[in-house]
Chains A and B, each alone.
Chain A
């Protein structure tokens, strides 16, 4: 399991991550809901759902 330890900033974040980064600077993990269309993009369409 991970633990944040650095004071570096990755400049390769997408725009969607900017708010997360901003909040992370306050020491908080911010969880964002993944949009339905993004879930569809990442899933392997040839497999059926288990649930």
Chain B
């Protein structure tokens, strides 16, 4: 275990690899791993590097790595805080290596939120998910406006921290994000 300067604890992590030119959008993916000393479970973190110095961080339980729902499943291990803190420590590791990095993430809907939409179509599963609300709180708690501008789209549970040193405009980054997430008007 390690602690941030503000006293919050996170798990020790290590870089376990890097995939180059994953597809036409992802330039490379940095792969990290950490093991919870509490549950002995291993987590995987993938940081995808896109154009515009944009990095998107995803994490999941290693046991779920082959599941299509690995970003949705809740582990119920009651260790969300140190796990998310570890992801933030990894985000800081990327920032130390790439000082112009901007960060984006989506708070994926839980199975309950997906089911809620199935039962009542008035709910959108992507809309202001529980994960989005938690991540938003932590981003505003840990990252001041000194180095990043904070942006979001609650409708898509999407959060962007745009690096103030970035040479790319918000408009350019938004275009990039729209390309990444490929929101199809026919699906809306």
Interface size for chain B: under 10, 10 to 19, 20 to 34, or 35 or more residues?
35 or more
Complex alpha-carbon distance, A8 and B125, angstroms: 10
Q: Which residue of B lies closest to A21 (CB)?
A: B155
B147: chain A residues at CB < 8 Å are: 51
| Interface contact A39-B142, CB-CB below 8 Å | no
Q: In the complex the two chains form, is B150's CB within 8 Å of A27's CB? A: no
| Cβ–Cβ contact A1 & B117, under 8 A | no
Which chain A residues lie closer than 8 Å to B123 at the CB level? 8, 10
With A24-B188, A28-B183, A31-B170 already in contact, the answer to whether A1 and B108 are too (CB < 8 A) is yes
Name the contact of B181 in the complex, choosing from A9, A29, A36, A44 (C-beta under 8 A).
A29
Contact (Cβ within 8 A) B183 A32? no
Stretch at the interface among B3-11, B12-20, B27-35, B36-44: B3-11
Contact A39 B145 (CB under 8 A): yes
Q: Secondary structure of the A side of the interface?
A: loop
Minimum CB–CB distance for B2 against chain A, Å: 13
Contacts A6-B117, A43-B137 known; A17 to B177 CB distance under 8 Å?
A: no
Interface residue SS majority, chain B: mixed
A15 at the interface (CB under 8 A from B): no
Residues of B participating in the A interface, judged by any CB pair closer than 8 Å: 4-8, 56, 58, 71, 88, 92, 95, 106, 108-109, 117, 121-127, 136-137, 140-158, 160, 170, 173-174, 177-178, 181-185, 187-188
Total residues of chain A contacting the partner, CB 8 A: 37
Q: Are A20 and B153 in contact (CB-based, < 8 A)?
A: yes
Q: Would you call A29 and B153 a contact (CB within 8 A)? A: yes
Closest to A36 in B: B145
**25 A-B pairs whose Cβ atoms sit less than 8 Å apart in the complex:** A2-B126, A2-B158, A4-B124, A5-B187, A7-B187, A8-B121, A10-B122, A10-B124, A20-B155, A24-B155, A25-B185, A31-B152, A31-B160, A31-B174, A33-B150, A33-B151, A42-B140, A43-B140, A47-B141, A47-B142, A48-B5, A48-B6, A50-B4, A50-B143, A51-B148
Alpha-carbon distance between A10 and B141 when the two chains are bound, in angstroms: 28
Q: Which of B108, B136, B140, B152 has the most CB of A within 10 A?
A: B140
Closest to A6 in B: B124
